[in-house]
């Protein structure tokens, strides 16, 4: 039996807008095994960040279940949730706006420790702060500096130290390296990987960068307009992408090598609006393979086409002989 | 080598510094650049390397004060733009050289329609009537794949990818001879990025435009550029054709950039980041600026700045390791074990 730390069932988050309901996250399901990384990829507006926030209940879900170690997070009271958040932390994308500019590095890292009474006593807390700084590779001399004095890489290390302060089991990394230069990006990715091995952490890695997600994840779920369209182990997904959107996405990555100028899977048209979307495949309008009769008949279901490889494309499912 | 009179751009010994209250920021420290007609040069480097400042200096857009630009030559299409009047400069910008800025969300004026914004430069440069300019603006929109009816809409009514297309339409409206694209697709999603890059390459070929593509993404360089110049701390550290720089990487910094990228074909490969940070531009070190982060550096590297020297063909490299040891090589095929 796989030890699933997190199970997300039929999760939905709709936002009310003047033009109707915006389906930001629309009925998504996935599980993550303890100690593994799930990559959540997609383009801007696909609902990947909202999914991360809904799991932590930073935004309340519209419906669905989020089972963390078997307990439904969505049904917890505020107080229970506060306790639960120690186990589930988040690292934000922008290290420039997610840190309080008026606090020093040590105050920022100490805050969650003090607030949640993980440790008491000034000395204990200070010792823990130094320990955390060492863990994330921040030199002791930065302890009394302010975020604006540091570069993006170091600021992101503070964000990681603050998340680790709670000794979490699961960390949601929301585009943790997108704002950083490549050489710094690699430093942070290596740090996150080391921490995972050392502390047995489970990650949900949210990103739009496919080469990063491939490097970092065990499983990858590709999102499009609030839904998961394909999910598979990283290697399988990169080698045998089946959903036309995944294929287009993968072929769009520019590869930094000679002789790689290649044919792209082309996309057409404009993106379907996530406000009151019709009951059909949301990718249909941009898909060159779209078959009006099959693709616009109903909302596609995520079906397992080979072990652990799921797709939500009625056309491909039918080609492969699955009943839809 | 390309002949002297065949260059759209010729910069010699460009220095840009910003004299601020907190000290002098040395942004660009002695750059020589030549670009042949119809060529595309990729200007690569990380934040703070001086890529954008170099581009702004070409257009004479560096704010003064605090910016101070010094150079021996700054020729665009054979004409030195350093000491021409503001009126003449207006003629050069947009007509001879134009720029696509990084952020399409802020590059457009929110209170004018996109049609008006494209027509503006056509009206100035082609000296035509407003109606003709608007008609040409409609043509430009169609060229970048936007229906001309949308010319009367405002920027907020467009998506990010569409806005960037509008910015491209503005830059190309007067068929400039040199186009500078500053991270034109960084703010866009990959599928949209692919479409925009394709469009730019297509238009560039159609109008025989030369282009400087400023980017931090080596993948984009491999896709669209003929030549590459790698910048570090306000200098060019390696330069050459795409084949030379990507196929026979010579500078340790370029190697470091490649090793920092996740390898899409080998997901087990461990990333080898460059340790440390780029030097503070207010306190440039005496020796090679990359020496503190370089795995091959010796004491000698910290004493003198290596000059950019020819390493065969059009390949230039600024690294003293090659002078000390003629056998010195960087082997990227060993990358990632």
pLDDT tens digits, A223-235: 999 999 999 999 9
Residues of chain A contacting B, Cβ within 8 Å: 43-44, 151, 153, 181-187, 189-190, 208, 210-212, 214-216, 234-235, 238, 248-249, 251-258, 260-261, 264, 267, 270-271
Reported as a pLDDT band with limits 50, 70 and 90, residue B335 is very low
Mean pLDDT for A273-302 is 90
Q: Residue B87, SS3?
A: helix
CB A3 within 8 Å of CB A34: yes
Mean pLDDT of chain A: 90
CB B316 within 8 Å of CB B238: yes
Contact A255 B219 (CB under 8 A): yes
Q: Which of B197, B216, B267 sits opposite A215 (nearest CB)?
A: B267
- Residue A261 has a pLDDT of 67
CB A186 within 8 Å of CB B260: yes
Mean pLDDT for B285-301 is 90
Spatial CB neighbours of B132, under 8 Å, sequence gap ≥ 6: B122, B126
Q: A32 pairs with which residues across the strands?
A: A6
Q: Is pLDDT at B4 greater than 60 in this prediction?
A: no
Contacts B252 to A, Cβ<8 Å:
none
Contacts B246 to A, Cβ<8 Å:
256-258
- Residue A1 has a pLDDT of 59
CB B237 within 8 Å of CB B319: yes
Reported as a pLDDT band with limits 50, 70 and 90, residue B1 is very low
B65 prior amide bond cis, ω within 30 = yes
- Residue B200 has a pLDDT of 86
Contact A181 B46 (CB under 8 A): yes
Reported as a pLDDT band with limits 50, 70 and 90, residue B271 is confident
- Residue B53 has a pLDDT of 92
Contact B246 A151 (CB under 8 A): no
CA distance A182 to chain B (A): 6
**Among A180-184, B24-28, B139-143, the range of highest mean pLDDT:** B24-28
Sign, CA dihedral A74-A80-A85-A87, equals negative
Q: Which of A76-80, A113-117, A272-276 has the lowest mean pLDDT?
A: A272-276
Reported as a pLDDT band with limits 50, 70 and 90, residue B258 is very high
Q: Which of A44, A151, A183 sits opposite B257 (nearest CB)?
A: A183
By C-alpha distance, the chain A residue nearest B221 is A256
CB B26 within 8 Å of CB B282: yes
Best of A43, A179, A183 to mutate (most B CBs within 10 Å, chain B):
A183
CB A165 within 8 Å of CB A158: no
- Residue B104 has a pLDDT of 78
Mean pLDDT for A195-216 is 92
Contacts B256 to A, Cβ<8 Å:
183
ipTM (interface pTM): 0.79
Torsion of CA B228, B229, B230, B234, to 10 degrees: -160
To which residue do tokens 């694209």 refer?
Answer: B181
Q: Is pLDDT at A4 greater than 90 in this prediction?
A: yes
Between residues A249 and B5, the one the model is more confident about: A249
Between residues A39 and A273, the one the model is more confident about: A39
Q: Is pLDDT at A272 greater than 80 in this prediction?
A: no
Q: Is pLDDT at B103 greater than 90 in this prediction?
A: no
Percentage of chain B exceeding pLDDT 90: 43
Write the pLDDT tens digit of every residue in B27-62: 999 999 999 999 999 999 988 899 999 999 998 889
pTM over 0.90: no
Mean pLDDT of chain B: 88
Q: Is pLDDT at A253 greater than 90 in this prediction?
A: no
- Residue B5 has a pLDDT of 54
Reported as a pLDDT band with limits 50, 70 and 90, residue B238 is very high
By C-alpha distance, the chain A residue nearest B333 is A257
Reported as a pLDDT band with limits 50, 70 and 90, residue A262 is low
CA distance A311 to chain B (A): 20
Reported as a pLDDT band with limits 50, 70 and 90, residue B226 is very high
Contact B261 A235 (CB under 8 A): no
By C-alpha distance, the chain A residue nearest B258 is A256
CB A222 within 8 Å of CB A213: no
- Residue B337 has a pLDDT of 33
The secondary element (H helix, E strand) that includes residue A197 is helix A182-199
Percentage of chain A exceeding pLDDT 70: 98
Among residues 231-290 of chain B, which lie with CB inside 8 Å of chain A? 242-243, 246-247, 256-264, 267, 269-275, 277
Contacts A43 to B, Cβ<8 Å:
189-192
Contact A238 B267 (CB under 8 A): yes
Q: Which of A208, A212, A258 sits opposite B189 (nearest CB)?
A: A208
Contact A253 B198 (CB under 8 A): no
- Residue B315 has a pLDDT of 95
Q: How many CA atoms lie within 13 A of B170 on its CB side?
A: 25
Percentage of chain B exceeding pLDDT 70: 97
Cα separation, B200 vs A221, whole angstroms: 31
**Among A94-103, B193-202, B215-224, the range of highest mean pLDDT:** B215-224
Backbone Cα Rg of chain A:
21
Q: Is pLDDT at B334 greater than 80 in this prediction?
A: no
Sign, CA dihedral B222-B225-B228-B233, equals negative
Write the pLDDT tens digit of every residue in B170-185: 988 888 899 999 988 8
């Amino acid at each position: 039996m796989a030890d699933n730390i997190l199970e997300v069932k039929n999760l939905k988050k709709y936002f009310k807008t003047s033009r109707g309901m915006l389906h930001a996250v629309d009925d998504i399901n996935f599980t993550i095994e303890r100690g593994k990384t799930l990559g959540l990829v997609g383009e801007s507006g696909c609902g990947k960040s909202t999914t991360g926030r809904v799991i932590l209940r930073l935004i309340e879900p519209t419906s669905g279940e989020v089972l963390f170690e078997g307990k439904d997070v969505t049904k917890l009271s505020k107080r229970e949730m506060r306790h639960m958040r120690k186990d589930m932390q988040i690292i934000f994308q922008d290290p420039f706006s997610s840190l309080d500019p008026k606090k020093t590095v040590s105050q920022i890292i100490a805050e969650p420790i003090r607030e949640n009474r993980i440790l008491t006593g000034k000395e204990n807390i200070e010792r823990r702060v130094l320990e955390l700084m060492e863990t994330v590779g921040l030199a002791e001399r930065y302890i009394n500096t302010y975020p604006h004095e540091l570069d993006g890489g170091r600021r992101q290390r503070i964000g990681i130290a603050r998340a680790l302060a709670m000794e979490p089991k699961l960390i949601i990394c929301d585009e943790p390296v997108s704002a950083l230069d490549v050489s710094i990006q690699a430093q942070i990715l290596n740090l996150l990987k080391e921490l995972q091995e050392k502390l047995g952490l489970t990650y949900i890695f949210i990103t739009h960068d496919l080469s990063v997600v491939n490097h970092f994840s065990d499983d990858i779920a590709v999102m499009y307009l609030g839904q998961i369209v394909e999910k598979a182990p990283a290697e399988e997904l990169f080698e045998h992408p089946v959903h036309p959107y995944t294929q287009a996405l993968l072929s769009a990555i520019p590869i930094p090598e000679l002789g790689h100028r290649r044919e792209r899977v082309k996309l057409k048209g404009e993106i379907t609006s996530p406000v009151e979307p019709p009951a059909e495949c949301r990718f249909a309008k941009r898909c060159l393979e779209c078959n009006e009769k099959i693709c616009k008949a109903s909302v596609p279901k995520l079906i397992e086409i080979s072990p652990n490889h799921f797709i939500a494309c009625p056309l491909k499912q039918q080609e492969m002989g699955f009943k839809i | 080598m390309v002949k002297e009179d065949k260059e759209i751009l010729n910069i010699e010994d460009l220095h840009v510094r910003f004299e601020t209250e907190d000290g002098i920021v040395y942004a660009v420290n002695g750059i020589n650049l030549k670009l042949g007609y119809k060529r595309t040069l990729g200007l690569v480097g990380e934040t703070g390397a001086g890529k954008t400042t170099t581009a702004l200096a070409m257009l004479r857009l560096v704010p003064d004060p605090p910016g101070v630009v010094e150079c021996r030559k700054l020729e665009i299409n054979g004409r030195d733009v350093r000491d021409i009047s503001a009126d003449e400069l207006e003629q050069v910008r947009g007509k001879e050289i134009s720029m696509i800025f990084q952020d399409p969300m802020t590059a457009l004026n929110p209170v004018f329609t996109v049609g008006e914004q494209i027509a503006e430069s056509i009206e100035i440069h082609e000296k035509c009537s407003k109606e003709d300019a608007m008609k040409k603006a409609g043509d430009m929109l169609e060229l970048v794949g936007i229906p001309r009816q949308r010319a009367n809409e405002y920027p907020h009514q467009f998506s990010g990818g569409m806005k960037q297309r509008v910015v491209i339409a503005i830059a190309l409206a007067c068929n400039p001879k040199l186009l500078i694209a500053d991270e034109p697709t960084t703010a866009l999603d990959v599928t949209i990025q692919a479409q925009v890059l394709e469009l730019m390459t297509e238009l560039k070929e159609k109008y025989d435009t030369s282009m400087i593509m400023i980017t931090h993404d080596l993948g984009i360089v491999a896709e669209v550029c003929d030549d590459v110049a790698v910048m570090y701390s306000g200098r060019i550290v390696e330069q050459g054709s795409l084949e030379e720089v990507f196929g026979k990487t010579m500078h340790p910094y370029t190697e470091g950039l490649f090793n920092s990228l996740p390898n899409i074909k080998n997901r087990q490969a461990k990333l080898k980041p460059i340790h440390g940070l780029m030097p503070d531009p207010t306190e440039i070190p005496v020796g090679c600026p990359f020496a503190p982060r370089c795995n091959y550096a010796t004491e000698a590297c910290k004493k003198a700045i290596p000059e950019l020297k020819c390493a065969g063909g059009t390949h230039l490299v600024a690294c003293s390791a090659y002078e000390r040891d003629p056998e010195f090589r960087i082997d990227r095929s060993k990358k990632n074990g």
